[in-house]
Amino acid sequence: MFQVRNDEPQYAFLNDESIKDTNCYGKPIQTVDDASELHGKTLNINLDSAVGENPNRYKQHGFHFTADNCIGCHACEAACSEKNDNPAHIAFRSVGYVEGGTYPDFKRLNISMACNHCDDPVCLKGCPTRAYTKFAEYGAVLQDPDICFGCGYCTWVCPYNAPQLDPVKGQVSKCNMCVDRLEVGLKPACVSACLGNALNFGVIENAPENREQAKLEIPGFPRTDITNPNIRFQQTHDMPNEMTRTDSMAVKYHKNIKSGVFEPVVDKKKGLKRNWNLNKLRSREDPLVIFTLVSQAVIGAFLFMFLGDLAGFEVVQAMVASPVYLPVIFIMLGLEGIALFLSTMHLGKPLRFYRAFNNLKYSPVSREVAGIAVFFNSLGVHFLASLVYSEMGGGLFVQQVAEFFAYIAALSGPVAIYFMHKIYRIEARPFWNHWQVLTAFYGNMLSLGSLITAVFFIPVFIYNGQPVIELVKLLAVTALLGLVVEAIGHYFHAKHLNVKGREGSVSYYEQVTTFGKTNLFRYALLLANILVVSVFVFITELNLLSAVVSIVLVLSVLISSIISRAMFYVMVVPTTMPGAFFWKNKGFEEHARETGLARTVQAGIIADVH
């Protein structure tokens, strides 16, 4: 058990005199009833089998933050990092600030934030490995780095930036509520260290001594309806109507005069100039750009062949029957294999890849991985069985196996893409949380699927002297459908972002400024591609010109897809906490990496994250 000192100051002890029944979300504060089998069990902290005697052990606890009082002295962050032995680049708790007004009528509001041990922990639901547990004890949401494989998905879904992905260790860790201290009746280390009398802790909904509010919002704190966080605030001092952030995020907070609540709006920090910034398209998620595009292309190509064959298009039946079919399937398997390898290596701990299936019940990541795995393996079995059947003269059974797995692949492919899209439908990332993701993914499935089919088969058909116009037309129709679906998605997405406000409109601002020229370029490419593909729909004969145009078209579709997908990853603006000028400021982190400031360990910025 944690050692309580003989001279432990009174302020360090938990102090909940009365406890409410339900929290402000209408849920019981008692985590499990007295008869529950979860009662009276040890937390097994560092293999210590003792059971804490805290009388409120089965009550949801949470932080209380008096924003009026925080002086931004970093004592809470320091106490946390000291206790948890965290290196400089990792912090379970961080202090950022918003500020407003005009000198000398100026106000700064510091916000100290760690994990909010939410009622509805999206991290727990999102984590494919089931590294997260919400404990009956204190309602603590704890994460086990030994289970985590470092995909970082929890860092995407959390609206508060609580889980910390360590690029050095390749795993996530986060605030553990200091449950070891709670077990002996002590408040968490950060609370005990607070020098502004701002941070406090106790059973949720309880305002600490000398405090009267336990409200849910302060300027700069993200919305609470996503996860129902267990944090309460007091903030009674009036703030200017507009509070800005010092970090590079183009967000500021504007007071809704009616409700008095501060809402995020775009802060046009970088003006309105359109830029290319092609180098900024690269990110940690580069492997995912490749993985998603390749998977969609491979699934699209297979579906084209499978459904075309099924629907009785002669030209497709000729494809499937041709000796090129199996080599093409083999190449597709190879492409998908490389894509899977890249996405696995993108994990912090690639050797733990098998844990991806652990959370099929809640995690779209688990479901996507399962979907892709079924598709990939079915396609593999289909290939092998077909090979055995055609080359070694296997019997009817082998043929049926091949056919059966073709059906499974054709079914699981689109399902996998559906779950792939679900991964990005994250409330804390409004830019992604739109049906455009689905149109983009299925659109690319059709366009890129047709594209690789065309690349593999049309030259072979021409070489063999087989009639090819019908195939070209069929592929063109499919690609056209894909491109149009993608374009419609973009149109409605941009409109949605522009109107909806909050962090989504900030992404839109990035889209039209930081990547303004790139954005116009990809739209122009997409439109041009649609026009040119439309011409191919009505083509009657192939000549040198159409050959040259088709090569350009293939490249153009490929480039526009890659740019679009890269932009998809780099433009997302999460609903995170405001940072400070250096710490938790993305703009400064980038600058430090570019200039070499990050080369010293004590800068707290990992020099290379790719």
Residues, the chain? 610
For another protein, give the closer residue by CB, 158 or 445.
158
For another protein, give the closer residue by CB, 77 or 309.
77
For another protein, give the closer residue by CB, 108 or 422.
108
Residue 35: which H helix or E strand, with range?
none
Do residues 288 and 569 lie in contact, with contact meaning Cβ atoms separated by under 8 Å?
yes
Structure tokens at 183: 């077990």
For another protein, give the closer residue by CB, 363 or 450.
363
Instruction: Determine phi and psi for 253, rounding to 5 degrees.
Output: -120, 130
For another protein, give the closer residue by CB, 409 or 605.
605
Q: Which residue is associated with the tokens 């993305």?
A: 586
Q: Give min distance, CB of 589 to another protein, in A.
A: 11
* Rg of the chain on CA atoms, in Å: 28
Q: What is the largest CA-CA distance in the chain?
A: 93
Q: Give min distance, CB of 285 to another protein, in A.
A: 25
For another protein, give the closer residue by CB, 53 or 314.
53
User: How does DSSP classify residue 600?
Assistant: S
User: How does DSSP classify residue 187?
Assistant: P
Alpha-carbon separation of residue 364 from 127, 416, 489 (angstroms): 9, 10, 21
Q: Give min distance, CB of 49 to another protein, in A.
A: 10
Q: Give min distance, CB of 566 to another protein, in A.
A: 25
DSSP secondary structure of 511-542: HHTTTHHHHHHHHHHHHHHHHHHHHHHT----
Q: Please, what is the Cα angle at 312 between 306 and 314, to 5 degrees? A: 100
For another protein, give the closer residue by CB, 136 or 265.
136
Helix axes 286-311, 364-391, angle to 10 degrees: 50
For another protein, give the closer residue by CB, 210 or 279.
210
Q: Give min distance, CB of 569 to another protein, in A.
A: 24
Q: Please, what is the Cα angle at 544 between 542 and 548, to 5 degrees? A: 100
For another protein, give the closer residue by CB, 400 or 600.
600
For another protein, give the closer residue by CB, 38 or 555.
38
Q: Please, what is the Cα angle at 498 between 495 and 500, to 5 degrees? A: 100
DSSP lists the bridge partners of residue 264 as 253
Residues 6+ apart with CB under 8 A from 479: 446, 447, 450, 451, 533, 557
Residue 41 and residue 539: Cα distance in Å, rounded? 74
Q: Give min distance, CB of 244 to another protein, in A.
A: 9
For another protein, give the closer residue by CB, 167 or 380.
167
DSSP lists the bridge partners of residue 108 as 99
Do residues 569 and 88 lie in contact, with contact meaning Cβ atoms separated by under 8 Å?
no
Q: Give min distance, CB of 213 to another protein, in A.
A: 15
Structure tokens at 344: 């696995």
Residue 296 and residue 446: Cα distance in Å, rounded? 8
Q: Give min distance, CB of 497 to another protein, in A.
A: 24
Q: Give min distance, CB of 459 to another protein, in A.
A: 48
Residue 57 and residue 40: Cα distance in Å, rounded? 9
Q: Give min distance, CB of 119 to another protein, in A.
A: 7
Q: Give min distance, CB of 330 to another protein, in A.
A: 42
Q: Give min distance, CB of 432 to another protein, in A.
A: 24
DSSP secondary structure of 416-428: HHHHHHHHH--TT
For another protein, give the closer residue by CB, 497 or 605.
605
Burial of 106 (0-12, 13-18, 19+ CB in 10 A): exposed
Alpha-carbon separation of residue 426 from 142, 225, 264, 564, 572 (angstroms): 21, 13, 17, 19, 11
For another protein, give the closer residue by CB, 87 or 327.
87
Q: Give min distance, CB of 605 to another protein, in A.
A: 7
Structure tokens at 171: 């795993």
Structure tokens at 144: 């086990």
Structure tokens at 37: 């089998």
